[in-house]
Chain A
């Protein structure tokens, strides 16, 4: 079947989608957006968290056909999404997002020692780097989408609030302490900026 929806502000379509495919599979394998991660496919780890019409969901549990006509934000679009939110209080339709061509460039890049230079990041993304909240990084995209949405709703979270909001995102490397630091840091910077 054919599926059309908006990803990171841009209309996208996919053909020959098998009816049992998840939104996660379509994003990763058909749209060149592998940032959302597949770690459990059963809604237990949060690595595939995206925003579906603004709401954080596990994209592994969304049938691709259910995304028809909906608006999806993935980690690849998070920086633009945050920028739009800061400037306009929301993401103007079609105005934000990474082009498909840009998004597919991931394959060509290797690791180098450029840290955060020249790349526009959302505050939560920068905070994760600064606080040492990234190790293997596999849980990071889902955590970023979830944490960003939590700070949008709850600008001054308590530690218990942060833990509750992120309790659907498993991390195996960090023991979560640096993730807590990162969210506290992003909240504090957000407070300073206002």
Chain B
């Protein structure tokens, strides 16, 4: 391990604040009332006098040269205000991208995937805009499509991106590989000699969609100063801003972004969608422009979860100890890089799972292909790996002849374990305990479809309302899985957040205002920020300022990081405000009571108190007319990049763990599955809002269930075209597909993190999928090496 691995600074843990509504309580969402009355303004709800509607024309083929684009007829359409193509882009910056700026704002000379934006239209009615877009004539000269590893890396393969000059090109074996990360530790060849059992498997993970319910949308309003105001649903305002402003040729302070209501994200709003298009049309026409994707377009408008092929070999001794792991993970990044490099980093560095295995040789790559671009989705990289290593654990346990849970517990990592990257796991890693807890939960009753009368309750059976079985062919199965996910941005990224906190007295009452650029996408960050401010400042009333770019960056609402990082920033700014308030107090009242100078002072219940509980002053009297305001950045301890050849390095700031037990009932004749129960145990460090924590775990669990049994974007391998871009054929679980999800929450503090908390959003999405697959295997005896599993896989048809 690197000798210079930084040690974290433990943060003071404030437990059990006496101020009502502080951390640890299940306070209710501040936006709850607006959301249940229909008044909460989502990005698609924005409306402006005289606004126009934007429409995007997308490529109908996956890979082609653009011979010509003819916009004449479209421009003649009454009601059309603007039609723009690549040639109309105002500056030399014509691409964008999260890390690699390889994505054209509008296609130039070539399209690289089905549904790539080619032209944009603004008109006075969405139907006018659609009709005009349909009149744009694009002539394509089709190229062969690259759809998998062998076609991407063939010696004569067409390069998806010619002339790459990004920082990965130097270390990838082929220009159609975005990034490659090996993780090598110990000596796999000699460790293999010690193995009594060797298990090999080849696994396939299908392309999942975030399927957030609120499609991409926003409103761009041109301003008198030549700038533009953008109301938008995103995961990271400042990252968007850095990509938008250069394309528009505007300084960043002239692109003012305000977060609108976000209808879910799950990674799918990390990349830009319609942001630049709306701004371009608004600036071109001088009118506000609204763009709202429909569901069809949404499937083309954001990146998906990387589909993957995973080749795994594990060894174990007779007594069940893992000897080695050799793995190769091939992720399909599609036509543009998006978050592929980070996905590669996660898949490789977390590819061994939460297990002790000393001799490791893992390689992960992401391909450039003509498939739909893939990037961030909840648990990225770690999700695909978990599916494979958990299948391997079951097979190995069976080979060794051990109970599957006991086998995992025997090999489970714990605090102090070395990761394959050489990093010490330096906070609790209760892997064995999480498994013990899900195993100890009571089992759901058998045959719940039986009723008092003659008829079976089909709602409790596989097939549900479709009335396919009354119990015939139904077999129960049980499966377990556990996973490991990193929290926050890794590999040396400067991961920080900013919080502006103001304390003032309004109408005799102290009020705190918390202003960050954190994207509230439903996770409840706004709830938690108010709780932190109450705990730290001892006030009841907290106002959460709308998120915008008038305050510093909060980083992305992703990587399970916002409660940790922006929560940490709010805590830090509150502490700084508190210091200033106490300073004011000392100046005004210090002479009246010796405790001002000697005791540890706190803010509680609107008062300055000693740590012994003695009241020194009311906040109202300390502040009088003054306002104390602090804007400050806060960062977690730094990480470092993985070595490009060995993958060694202090790459991750925190790890998080969850385990699932799945109970399923399978109609073995028809291959239909009903998940009966999906129990989860997770260590959250500290539950700042227990109700929200459980809600996150249940939601993540359900997305894992979806990709186990139904969710997959199907791409035609011959044309690279998407075959099911609709909610009719891309199915996500309904309430009748979703089981009861009992949750057991552990709170083992991570001393490096604010309040000891652990990021929670992603871990439950990891182990849910392999647990369901394990349960289906248990019911059917089938090997099932791909997910989602479909009826034809279960019936051999």
Contact = CB atoms under 8 A, between A and B. Distances in A.
Q: How large is the interface on A (under 10, 10 to 19, 20 to 34, 35 or more residues)?
A: 35 or more
B319 interface: no
A97 interface: no
Contacts of A162: 735
A171 interface: yes
Given A174-B699, A176-B735, A37 B42 contact: yes
Nearest to A168: B734
Interface in A103-133: 105-107, 109-116, 119, 121, 125-126, 128-130, 132
B459 A163 contact: yes
Interface SS of A by simple majority: loop
B765 to A, nearest CB: 11
Contacts of B741: 175, 177
A178 B544 contact: no
A160 B459 contact: yes
B728 interface: yes
Contacts of B292: 38
Interface string B734-747: 11101011000000
A116 B28 contact: yes
Contacts, number: 224
Given A40-B295, A132-B692, A172-B212, A137 B522 contact: yes
A113 B520 CA distance: 14
A171 B736 contact: no
Contact of B295 (A42, A121, A129, A177): A42
Given A39-B295, A129-B36, A170-B734, A177 B698 contact: yes
Contacts of B174: none
Contact of B30 (A112, A125, A130, A166): A112
A116 B28 CA distance: 9
A23 interface: no
Nearest to B543: A112
Interface SS of B by simple majority: loop
Interface string A160-190: 1011101111111111111110000000000
A175 B727 contact: no
Given A137-B31, A138-B214, A172 B45 contact: no
A8 to B, nearest CB: 10
B389 interface: no
B776 to A, nearest CB: 19
B34 interface: yes
A119 B32 CA distance: 11
B726 interface: yes
A192 interface: no
A138 to B, nearest CB: 3
A152 interface: no
B29 interface: yes
A134 B35 contact: yes
B469 interface: no
Interface in B128-150: none
Contacts of B264: 135-136, 138, 172-173
A169 B29 CA distance: 22
Interface in B676-721: 691-692, 694-695, 698-703
B38 A138 contact: no
Interface stretch (A28-36, A64-72, A88-96): A28-36
Interface in A14-45: 18, 20-21, 28-29, 32-42, 44-45
A7 interface: no
A37 B127 CA distance: 19
Interface stretch (B67-75, B113-121, B184-192, B523-531): B523-531
Contact of B695 (A33, A114, A135): A135
A47 B701 CA distance: 22
A168 to B, nearest CB: 8
A37 B698 contact: no
A129 B42 CA distance: 18
A34 B38 contact: yes
Contacts of B212: 136, 138, 172
Nearest to A166: B735
Contacts of B38: 33-36, 74-76, 106, 141
A164 B610 CA distance: 56
Interface string A39-63: 1111011010000000000000000
A43 to B, nearest CB: 9
Nearest to B293: A38
Interface in B251-297: 261-266, 292, 294-295
Contacts of A29: 47
Contacts of B265: 136
Contacts of A21: 127
Interface centre among B40, B521, B524 (most CB of A within 10 A): B40
A115 B30 contact: yes
B544 A111 contact: yes
Interface centre among A41, A112, A116, A163 (most CB of B within 10 A): A112
B45 A176 contact: no
B608 to A, nearest CB: 23
Contacts of A106: 34, 38-41, 45
Contacts of B41: 34, 106-107, 109
A54 to B, nearest CB: 19
Contacts of B728: 42, 44
B213 A170 contact: yes
A37 B213 contact: yes
A176 B737 CA distance: 10
B736 A113 contact: no
A114 B722 CA distance: 45
A125 B701 contact: no
B230 interface: no
Contacts of A163: 459, 735-736
A141 to B, nearest CB: 5
29 contacts: A35-B38, A38-B215, A39-B213, A40-B295, A41-B294, A47-B213, A75-B36, A106-B39, A107-B41, A110-B546, A111-B526, A112-B30, A116-B32, A119-B33, A129-B33, A135-B523, A136-B522, A137-B35, A140-B36, A162-B735, A172-B211, A174-B698, A175-B699, A175-B701, A177-B694, A177-B740, A178-B691, A178-B694, A178-B695
Interface of B: 26-42, 44-47, 125, 127, 210-215, 261-266, 292, 294-295, 457, 459-460, 464-465, 520-524, 526, 530, 541-546, 691-692, 694-695, 698-703, 726-728, 732, 734-736, 738, 740-741
Interface of A: 18, 20-21, 28-29, 32-42, 44-45, 47, 74-76, 78-79, 105-107, 109-116, 119, 121, 125-126, 128-130, 132, 134-141, 144, 160, 162-164, 166-180
Closest 3 CB pairs of A and B: A35-B38, A136-B522, A137-B35
